[in-house]
Amino acid sequence: MDRIKTDSNEIFEIIEKLIEKEDWSVLKQILIDIHPADLAEIVMRLDRNERERVFENLGPERAAEVLVELDSPIRQDILKNINETRLVRIVGSMDSDDATDIIGELEEDTAKRVLESMPSKEHHEVETLLVHDEETAGGIMALEIVAVNEEKTAHQALEELRNKADEVEDVYNIYVIDSKRRLKGVASLKDVVLADPQTRLSEIMDRDAVFIHHDMDQEEVANIFHKYNLVAAPVVDKEGRLIGRITVDDVLDVVEEEASEDISLMAGITDEEIRGRSIFRASGVRLPWLLIAFGGEIVSAVVMSHFKTSLNQIVASAFFIPLIMAMGGNTGMQSATVVIRGLATGDINLRDTGRRLFKEIGAVFLNGIVISLLLFGVAVIWLQQPRFGLILAVAMMSVLFNATFMGTMIPFLLKRLGVDPAIATGPFITTSNDILGLVVYFGIMSIFFNWL
């Protein structure tokens, strides 16, 4: 049946009215005709009671399709209100990787009971995946694969594919294994179909195909998919045995999750907080980072108090404090953002520390010259004090160099210490820029005071 193709706002309003009228028969028909991704988008806009009514009118398979598309906080809220019998049917209709994600979000007692109620095959698959860390290749892989012995023929491989057609969706490759299930190569579906039916897989498989180790971090998995333009990749254990596969849709979820997490953490918040609605939770997550910034600014105020003589004698120096600090902060965050993104995507690694620092300093040198010359011109034209303008220019260059050094080195240092650079880089840079930037600025002013 064709999916409904209309404005989501219009569908949203229709669903709300049907729920209000308790017209469940029409609601069920409409829900069937909406694409799961579109329906998930609508569900996230509904209030809690309306979501419950929607899921009560979805079949198990349809509910499963919608659940995997929802944001985690909303999905967890919905799962709490689904009875366990129905939950078993919903989870049982999912692929192994999606089922594992859902089980992992349930309360421990509920997850245990749901697992025990599942058929033995699905139970074993989920337990197998739960062993792996959720942010590794093993945690995002699916167990549904088409694996055929290397001595089998192309005809036999296609027979195996037909046997597993209902179990495995979106088949791109047939994985070739030996008698001990060790991965020997990958045969593309195209090559298998076009080969002579009696040709052995060992003759048409790619022996150098890219594979993923089960304990590889999910970010590195995403980098490999990007580097080699993969749509699917086999996952192997420490002995090289084939245990699952990762497809590009799993990787897209990882990319979105990691990017969202990094952006959120750079602001000192969490992705769950953005999607959640609790005022107290939002406040509690943000407050520690605000207190760190508050402490840094208090130190900055103390630093300024030690230079009150310079401020009294050169009143004009106070005019440029916001400018100097803002330019330093922006420069530091530019360098930090480049490094954090590079570390996250794999374009930059810890061995690149020196080279990256040299490149950032080179860039800030060129930018610093332009900004310092502009600042010198402002001082000459506005204040008619060329010497003061020259001191400002020197101070600006010094602050920019300091900010660039900190912005480049802090993410590398945090990465080396095993801390996610996205979490702490922002507060460190803003605080160090305000404190060290003021020390540099007023220090230069004090040194050259007599020259004025």
* pLDDT tens-digit map of 8-46: 788 888 999 999 999 999 999 899 889 998 999 899 889
Strand order in the sheet with 242-247: 212-213, 232-236, 242-247
Q: What is the pLDDT of residue 264?
A: 58
Beta pairing class for 232-236 and 242-247 = antiparallel
> Taking Cα atoms as reference points, which of 58, 142, 59 lies closest to residue 99?
142
Sequence letter at residue 351: R
Q: Could you tell me which residues are beta bridge partners of residue 187?
A: 174
Q: What is the pLDDT of residue 2?
A: 47
Phi-psi group of 346: left, alpha or beta (phi > 0 → left; psi -120 to 50 → alpha; rest → beta): left
User: Fold for domain 8-140?
Assistant: MgtE N-terminal fold (1.25.60)
Which residues of the chain form CATH 1.25.60.10?
A: 8-140
Class of the CATH domain delimited by 147-248: alpha beta
Q: Could you tell me which residues are beta bridge partners of residue 206?
A: 186
- Rg over alpha carbons for the chain, rounded to the nearest Å, is 29
Residues 6+ apart with CB under 8 A from 51: 43, 74, 77, 78
Rounded average pLDDT over 225-233: 92
Rounded CA-CA distance 40/38 in Å is: 5
Rounded CA-CA distance 380/374 in Å is: 10
Which range, 148-162, 309-323, 387-401, has the best average confidence (pLDDT)? 148-162
Residues 6+ apart with CB under 8 A from 282: 269, 273, 276
Contact between 385 and 300 under an 8 Å Cβ cutoff? The reply is no
Q: What is the pLDDT of residue 380?
A: 87
Query: pTM surpassing 0.75?
Result: no
Q: Maximum Cα–Cα distance for the chain, whole Å?
A: 93
Which residues of the chain form CATH 3.10.580.10?
A: 147-248
Strand order in the sheet with 183-188: 147-149, 173-177, 183-188
Rounded CA-CA distance 158/148 in Å is: 10
Which residues of the chain form CATH 1.10.357.20?
A: 285-447
Cα 114 to chain center, whole Å? 29
Please tell me the CATH superfamily of domain 285-447, with its number: SLC41 divalent cation transporters, integral membrane domain (1.10.357.20)
Instruction: Dump pLDDT digits (tens) for 121-142.
Output: 888 889 889 899 988 999 999 9
Q: CA of 311: how far to CAs of 88, 173, 232, 320, 402, in Å?
A: 71, 71, 64, 11, 22
Rounded average pLDDT over 407-414: 86
